[in-house]
Amino acid sequence: MPLKNAHTQPHTSAPSWRWALLGLALLIAFLLPWPLSPLWIRIATEVIMWAGLAQSWNIIGGYTGYLSFGHGAFFGVGAYMTGIVMLHLGWPFALGLLISGIAAALMAVIIGYPTLRLRGAYFAIATWAFGEMIRQIATILEITGGAFGMQLPSYLNLPFFYYLFLLVTGLTYLTTYLLLERSPFGYKLLAIREHEEAAEMVGVDTVTIKIKAFALSAFFPGVLGGIYAYWVTYIHPDSVLGAQLTDFMVVMAFLGGIGSLWGPFLGAVVVQLVNRVLWLVWGEGTFYLIIIGAAICTVVLFIPSGIIGLLQSRIFLPGTAWKEIRKKVKW
């Protein structure tokens, strides 16, 4: 069954005030590290990284309608590829990032060719199994450090990693906007998501289009994983290939609004900030899951288009969202 959300019509040109708002947001993001302490720079960096990861999952999960539960594997592959390139080959970090992204995309093509012929829960289970397979392989290979992990050279420059994550995440959203919101490729994905059989009947090569979308959604986590590895300097199969990575991407995308451009960004901001604020206040790293879980249940039941759908309803269709909520709870 295709995923449904409010973003199913071709987009019109954005009004000028939206571009002004985007420019202001980019200016704030660029200046943000200057007044912040190192702790808050790190938190801001994490938010930006997760925003990029959530959007990358949104390409295959939201725009294409295929729920991938092994997407964290591409992040881990990117992390290990960068480490191998720097430690074993002696190549520069920048080249390692490019190789990481390409390796993750190629892996998505190899895995996607058979699995993207599956649908629904079968595809989700297949991708989950793929993620677990990659984690087990990384645990036994000598080149990855096995169960002992991998130690990378340290580079203690928080603003450097903040701006690097900001650049890659920005490219993720720009690519999504140009290819999925403003091009025929995006309309083909929309057709696949809404009714794949009908798309095939009108001549859409659904398998090829889905593989391209899967490779695109894997490229950016591969690059982000490479940056993360150099940032934290130590990686382990459980830290960069754990199932919780994909879980976070899915939760952020759904909370913000799947199939939308800015939904994953809002979801990442809410989830990661709630996580870190609760950790700072209570020293608790898991209690926020209860709050996020309750928020997800509320969104699925009453606001299936996520936070972004609620905001758009309040701005462009005042009262519509709340009428729908009152109808569902029989107020």
pLDDT digits (tens, 9 = 90+) for 33-70: 898 889 899 999 999 999 999 999 999 999 999 999 99
Of 107, 78, 95, the C-alpha closest to 229 is: 78
User: End-to-end CA distance of the chain, in Å?
Assistant: 30
How many whole angstroms separate alpha carbon 68 and alpha carbon 186?
18
The secondary structure of residue 9, as a DSSP letter, is S
pLDDT score of 287: 67
Identify the weakest region by mean pLDDT among 91-105, 242-256, 281-295.
Answer: 281-295
State the average pLDDT over residues 291-307: 75
pLDDT score of 1: 44
Three-state SS for 234-261 is: EECHHHHCCHHHHHHHHHHHHHHCCCCC
Residues 191-200 pLDDT 10s: 999 989 999 8
Residues 201-233 pLDDT 10s: 988 899 999 999 999 999 999 999 999 999 999
**What would the two tokens of residue 51 be?**
């925003």
pLDDT score of 330: 46
| Sequence ranges of the domains in the chain | 36-259
How many whole angstroms separate alpha carbon 193 and alpha carbon 185?
13
**Contact at 8 Å (CB) between 57 and 67?**
no
Identify the weakest region by mean pLDDT among 33-37, 89-93, 106-110.
Answer: 33-37
Distance of CA 107 to the CA centre of its chain: 17
**Contact at 8 Å (CB) between 63 and 7?**
no
